[in-house]
Chain A
Amino acid sequence: MLELKGAVKRYSGGGSIFKKRWLTALDHLSLTVRRGEFFSLVGESGCGKSTLARIVAGLENLDDGELHFDGRRVPDISIFKDRQMRRRVQMIFQDPYSSLNPRMRVGDILREPLRSFGWGDAPAIEKRVVELAEIIRFPLSTLERYPHQFSGGQRQRIAIARAIAATPEVLICDEPVSALDVSIKGQIINLLIDIQEQLGVTILFISHDLSLVSKISDRVGVMYLGRIVEIGDAASVFSDPRHPYTRVLLDAIPTVNRDGRRQGAPLAGEVPSPFAIPTACRFRDRCSLAFDKCAIEEPGLDAVASTRAHYAACHLRDRAQPRKAAADPPRIPGVEIFYTNTSEHQPSNLAKETA
C-alpha cells in the first residue's frame, strides 16, 4: 500500500552560509505498510517518526529515495497538488486543539473536506455529516458547537471524523493519544481500531507508548536515528525482540505488574546527535552487546532466521532471547467491572456505511 525506498530527509541546522550543518532525519529508510493493517512506528523522540509521517502525508518532500503509494511512485509534492492523493491519505496530530479551526462549528469542520474533495451535492454532504457524527458518537445537536466547548478526547474524535470524512485509504496518526488521560485514551484507540477493522482503512500509528502499541498493532517498526532497526509482526517483535534497542525500550516501560517489571538496567546515554550519526552500527555506542564487528560493518535490516517477516538490523539478530513473560497473566480483582464498556463500544454503524 505504502512504500518508502531509501528515503532520505535532511534539515539544515544552522552553521555558516558557506558550510551549512545538516541533520539527517531519515537516513536511507525503507519501509512497507500493507493495505488494511494497523502499523505502528515507535522510537525515542527525535528519531524521525514525525518526519516520516509528514513525508507519507505529502506535507514534505524527500531529498532522496522514493515514496510509492498503491504500487505507483509518487512524484515529489504531488500529494499536495493532486486532490485525489490528498483525499486518499489523511493525518491526525497529537494536539487536536491547534489542528481544529476554533472559529468553525463542528458541523462545518466536517463539511469542509467533503466540499473540497467534491463529495456530492448538499444533501449528500449533510447525509455524510450525520454518518460521521454517529461514528464518533456525537449527538447531532453538538454539531452546532465550537471546538473549545469539547474536552481533549472529544476534540480528537472531531479530528478523526474530519480525517475520515472523504473516506481516505490511509490514516496517519502522530501521537494521537499522548496528551490524553488513560481513561480517555481507550475511546480514541477503540475508535481507530473500528476504523481499521470496519472501514478497512490502513493505519500508520506513531507512538512512544510501547505497551499500548504491543496490544493494538498488527505490525510494528522500531526507529532509531532515522532508520528502521527492527520490524515485524507485533507479537513477534515484542515477545522476542532481536535488536538490543527494542529490548531496552521494552525494559524501560514502567509496569504495574511486579513480575514483569524492569528486566534490565536502564539504557545508558542519550540519543546521539543526528548531525553525527555513528558509523557502522548506529546503536553501538549505547549497546551493551556491541563487539568489534559493530564498529566496522553496518548490519542490514535482514530477516531473522526461522521467523516469518521479522527483520532486525543487528549482527546478533539470530540470537533468540525471548522476553520473560509474566508468570501469571496479571489479574486484579474487580478489573472486569469495566469490561462491558469495551464491548459497548462495538461499532454499530460503521459496517453499514461501507456497504
Chain B
Amino acid sequence: MDTLLEINNLSVTVMTGGRELAAVRNVSLDVAPGEVLAIVGESGSGKSLTALSVLGLLSKGVARISEGEIIFDGDDLAKARPHVLDRHRGRDIGMIFQEPLSALNPVLKIGDQIIEGMVVRNEVSRTEARKRALAALTDVRVSDPERRLDQYPHELSGGMRQRVMIALALISSPRLLIADEPTTALDVTIQAQVLEVLKDLQRRRGLSMILITHDLGIVADMADRIAVMYAGEIVETGTVDDILSAPKHPYTIGLLSCLPEFSPPGRRLVVMQGSIPALDERIDGCRFKSRCPRYQPGPCDAPIPLIDLAPGHQCRCIRPFRSQLAKVHHA
C-alpha cells in the first residue's frame, strides 16, 4: 500500500521525578495519502506524545524517542537533524492544537502571523502574501476576513481562532495535517462548523490527517481508520466500521459502552472501573487487565502481541470479542 507516513516501533520516554519512564510503547502506524487516521484513547495514553514525535516537538530533556523510526518522504524523522525536521514541519506537515491561543503570537496581528512565514521562507512578496493570507482565511470560512487580518488573536472568538490556526497550518499546502484535539475547547455548534471546514479542506486537497480526539462521535464523522491507544500501546486498529461496528478489544468495547447512546436502558451510565495505570506501575502481561471484565489469570498475564483478526484489523487481546450476534440478528 501507498504510504505517506510510516511509524515503526516508536517508543517515547518521559523524565518524571528523575526517572525515565516509557510513555509510548512500540507503536506502529501508517497513513496513506488522503487518508484520515484517528488516534483515540483516554488522556495519558500517549496520543499527544506520538504526534509530537512526528513533529519533532518533544520537549528537550523531558521527553525523547527511545526507539523506532518515523518515515516521511524517505527521511527518518526520528533521527533527522533539526534542519531536516524544520524543513518538513510547517511545510510538508501542518499542525493544529486544542488551544490556538498558545500557538498564536499574542502581539502579532493575524495577517502578519500568516504572512510572516511566507515572507521568511522567501516564497513570495508581501503583497502576494497578503493576498494568499486573505484567500486562506476565506477558505476556512472566517467571517469578515479582510478585517481579521488586522486583528489580534485575543480579539477573536475561540472558533475563529481555531479557523485561523487551520488557515495557518494549511497555508504552505502540507501533505499531512496533525490535529490534536482541535475542537475539544469549543461549543458543539462551533465544533460542528470547524469540523465541516476541516473535512471540506481535507477532501478538496486530498490531505492526509492524523486526528487525535477522545470523542468517538467525531471519529465516526471524520476518520477512515482508527487506532485505539491505551497506556502507551495500540490495543486495536482497523477501519472505522471495524472499530465502531464490530469492536473486538475489551477496552474499545468499554470506551463505546461508556457513551450515553450505548448505555443500557435507565439513567445510569456504564462505568469502566479503575483508571489508566501510572507510568511507573509494573504490569506483567496485558496493560488493560486490571480493568478488564474478560481478564483470565494466566494467559492474560503473559505479554500480549498485536494479533491480526482480519486484513487491516488488529487487536492486542488473547480473548477478543468474537460475536457474530449482530450479523445473525440483521440477516
Decide: A208 and B187 in contact? CB cutoff 8 A: yes
Closest-CB distance, A271 to chain B (whole angstroms): 8
Decide: A342 and B263 in contact? CB cutoff 8 A: yes
Say if the beta carbon of B20 comes within 8 Å of chain A: no
Decide: B268 and A190 in contact? CB cutoff 8 A: yes
Q: Which residues of B contact A214 (CB under 8 A)?
A: 260
CA of A212 to CA of B160 in the docked complex: distance in angstroms?
27
CA of A214 to CA of B43 in the docked complex: distance in angstroms?
25
Q: Which residues of B contact A82 (CB under 8 A)?
A: none
CA of A341 to CA of B271 in the docked complex: distance in angstroms?
6
Check A339/B257 contact, CB under 8 A, given A151-B275, A215-B269, A332-B245: yes
For B157, B160, B193, B269, the residue with the greatest tally of chain A CB atoms inside 10 Å of its CB is B269
Decide: B254 and A338 in contact? CB cutoff 8 A: yes
Say if the beta carbon of A121 comes within 8 Å of chain B: no
Decide: B253 and A337 in contact? CB cutoff 8 A: yes
Q: Which residues of B contact A190 (CB under 8 A)?
A: 268-269, 271
Decide: A183 and B221 in contact? CB cutoff 8 A: no
Decide: A182 and B157 in contact? CB cutoff 8 A: no
Decide: B220 and A183 in contact? CB cutoff 8 A: no
Decide: A254 and B321 in contact? CB cutoff 8 A: no
Tally of A interface residues using CB under 8 Å:
53
Decide: A339 and B256 in contact? CB cutoff 8 A: no
Decide: A255 and B261 in contact? CB cutoff 8 A: yes
- Nearest B residue to A341, CB-CB: B271
Q: Mark A245-284, 1 if CB is under 8 A from B, else 0.
A: 0001101111111101110001111100000000000000
Tally the A-B contacts, defined by beta carbons under 8 Å.
174
- Nearest A residue to B320, CB-CB: A334
Decide: B189 and A267 in contact? CB cutoff 8 A: yes
Decide: B293 and A340 in contact? CB cutoff 8 A: yes
Say if the beta carbon of A211 comes within 8 Å of chain B: yes
- Nearest A residue to B326, CB-CB: A333
Binds A, one of B46-54, B113-121, B209-217, B303-311: B209-217
Say if the beta carbon of A345 comes within 8 Å of chain B: yes
Check A183/B254 contact, CB under 8 A, given A153-B275, A254-B221, A340-B293: yes
Decide: A183 and B193 in contact? CB cutoff 8 A: no
Say if the beta carbon of B4 comes within 8 Å of chain A: no
Decide: B221 and A335 in contact? CB cutoff 8 A: no
Decide: A248 and B189 in contact? CB cutoff 8 A: yes
Say if the beta carbon of B101 comes within 8 Å of chain A: no
Closest-CB distance, A98 to chain B (whole angstroms): 18
Set B192, B245, B248, B272: member contacting A266, Cβ < 8 A: B192
- Nearest A residue to B194, CB-CB: A266
Say if the beta carbon of B58 comes within 8 Å of chain A: no
Say if the beta carbon of A303 comes within 8 Å of chain B: no
Decide: A186 and B270 in contact? CB cutoff 8 A: yes
Decide: A255 and B217 in contact? CB cutoff 8 A: yes
Decide: A256 and B244 in contact? CB cutoff 8 A: yes
Say if the beta carbon of B100 comes within 8 Å of chain A: no
Set A183, A256, A269, A334: member contacting B217, Cβ < 8 A: A256
Q: Which residues of A contact B190 (CB under 8 A)?
A: 44, 270
Check A254/B294 contact, CB under 8 A, given A337-B250, A342-B271: no
Q: Which residues of B contact A249 (CB under 8 A)?
A: 188-189
Check A330/B188 contact, CB under 8 A, given A186-B269, A270-B157: no
Say if the beta carbon of A185 comes within 8 Å of chain B: yes
Decide: A256 and B253 in contact? CB cutoff 8 A: no
Say if the beta carbon of B247 comes within 8 Å of chain A: yes
Set A186, A334, A338: member contacting B323, Cβ < 8 A: A334
Decide: A193 and B268 in contact? CB cutoff 8 A: yes
Decide: A332 and B188 in contact? CB cutoff 8 A: no
Set B195, B220, B293, B329: member contacting A337, Cβ < 8 A: B293
Q: Which residues of B contact A266 (CB under 8 A)?
A: 189, 192-193, 196
- Nearest A residue to B293, CB-CB: A337
Q: Which residues of A contact B189 (CB under 8 A)?
A: 44, 248-249, 252, 266-267
CA of A262 to CA of B195 in the docked complex: distance in angstroms?
12
- Nearest B residue to A197, CB-CB: B267
Q: Which residues of B contact A251 (CB under 8 A)?
A: 192
Closest-CB distance, B161 to chain A (whole angstroms): 12
Say if the beta carbon of B285 comes within 8 Å of chain A: no
CA of A239 to CA of B257 in the docked complex: distance in angstroms?
22
For A187, A254, A255, A266, the residue with the greatest tally of chain B CB atoms inside 10 Å of its CB is A254
For A44, A211, A341, the residue with the greatest tally of chain B CB atoms inside 10 Å of its CB is A341
CA of A183 to CA of B272 in the docked complex: distance in angstroms?
5
Decide: A183 and B42 in contact? CB cutoff 8 A: yes
CA of A212 to CA of B260 in the docked complex: distance in angstroms?
6
Q: Which residues of A contact B217 (CB under 8 A)?
A: 253-256, 261
Q: Which residues of A contact B42 (CB under 8 A)?
A: 181-183
Q: Which residues on B are within 8 Å of A, measured CB to CB?
A: 42-43, 143, 157, 159-160, 187-193, 195-196, 214-221, 244-248, 250, 253-264, 266-273, 275, 291, 293-294, 321, 323-326, 329
What are 24 inter-chain pairs, A to B, with CB distance below 8 A? Answer: A44-B187, A183-B254, A183-B291, A184-B275, A186-B269, A187-B271, A216-B267, A249-B188, A252-B188, A255-B261, A257-B220, A261-B220, A267-B189, A269-B143, A270-B157, A270-B160, A331-B329, A332-B245, A332-B256, A332-B257, A337-B294, A337-B321, A341-B293, A342-B263
19 other contacts beyond A186-B269, A255-B217, A261-B220, with CB at 8 A cut-off? A190-B268, A210-B188, A253-B217, A254-B215, A256-B220, A256-B262, A330-B261, A332-B256, A334-B248, A334-B250, A334-B253, A334-B321, A337-B254, A337-B257, A338-B257, A338-B270, A341-B271, A345-B268, A345-B271
Give the top 3 A-B pairs by smallest Cβ distance, nearest first: A254-B217, A186-B269, A266-B192
